[in-house]
Structure 1
Amino acid sequence: MAHVLIVDDSPTDIHAMRSALEEEGHQVSVSDSASDSLDVARETQPDVILMDVVFQGMSGFQGTRKLARDPATAHIPIVIISGKDQETDRIWGLRQGASEYLVKPVHAAQLNRVVAGLLGTPASGA
């Protein structure tokens, strides 16, 4: 299947997303900060990036903008997955280069539908 990079600093959220994605057969890598995700994405070239927003230092919005503008990673779709559920946050995330914006907690079926849609493949309906 696909390689998905999860960028999050919550072990609970990482575990839930990793479990859902691995059930669909995806390979998963993890980065615990937006700033580190820039190098990880360049090196591993994932098929999709799942980006949290709230981090110490560089925010997920800033990380998304940098990834979307970097020629080495601009082709990788980014899904912001955040606890910030205001419409202004969603609009801002999409303006930074995200393809999708989901609000935590994200259910496995919803996550897999969005990833499958970005990959152009059907989700199994987890």
Structure 2
Amino acid sequence: MSVSTVLVVDDSPVDLAHLKIIVEGAGYQVVTATNGKDAQDKAKACHPDVILMDVVMDGVDGFEACRNITKDAATAKIPVFFVTSKSQKADKVWGELQGGKGMISKPFTPEQIIDTIAAV
């Protein structure tokens, strides 16, 4: 699949801006969301090619948002990758059970982000 649009989801303005700079710098169009509910809405409206999502967010967290996105017929084919400080094996397994395709641990390198998107 050729990726052109990436939905980046993080409630931290600093992390969101950092991810946006990395992804845009690699030539992708970026749509941003600051919480899980917003991510679900934007996934339906924009149909991004891939989603990079934080886990720990107020309201609808990343795991719940991923579960909802991957179970909705309109968005089920969009791969979701978690970009999170939660890096225990149990977190990775739980993320996969929610429909996530992988997990990038914070702090991350630009190469990890770009390589993940490029592998889709």
**Do both proteins adopt the same fold according to a TM-score greater than 0.5, normalized to the shorter chain?**
yes
State the match for 2:78 in structure 1.
76
Supply the distance in 2 between the matched residues of 1:64 and 1:2 (Cα, whole angstroms): 20
Task: State the number of aligned residues.
Answer: 118
Supply the distance in 2 between the matched residues of 1:77 and 1:64 (Cα, whole angstroms): 9
State the match for 1:38 in structure 2.
40
The partner residue of 1:66 within 62, 65, 68 is: 68
State the match for 1:20 in structure 2.
22
State the match for 1:124 in structure 2.
none
Q: Which runs of 4+ in 1 moved over 3 A?
A: none
1:104-123 alignment runs, 5 A limit: 104-118=106-120
Structure 2 stretches lacking a partner, 5+ long:
none
The alignment yields a C-alpha RMSD, in angstroms, of 0.9
Give 1:82 shift.
0.7
1:1-12 alignment runs, 5 A limit: 2-12=4-14
Give 1:57 shift.
1.3
> TM (normalized to structure 1)?
0.90
Helix, strand or coil at the partner of 2:78: coil
Cα deviation per residue 1:60-90 (whole Å; 9 max; x = unaligned)?
Answer: 1000000000000001000011111111001
Helix, strand or coil at the partner of 1:66: helix
Supply the distance in 2 between the matched residues of 1:86 and 1:102 (Cα, whole angstroms): 11
Helix, strand or coil at the partner of 1:74: coil
Cα deviation per residue 1:69-114 (whole Å; 9 max; x = unaligned)?
Answer: 0000001000011111111001100110011111111110110001
Give 1:16 shift.
1.3
Supply the distance in 2 between the matched residues of 1:25 and 1:58 (Cα, whole angstroms): 29
Supply the distance in 2 between the matched residues of 1:36 and 1:15 (Cα, whole angstroms): 17
Supply the distance in 2 between the matched residues of 1:74 and 1:106 (Cα, whole angstroms): 26
> TM (normalized to structure 2)?
0.95
Aligned-pair identity in percent equals 38
Helix, strand or coil at the partner of 1:54: coil
State the match for 2:104 in structure 1.
102
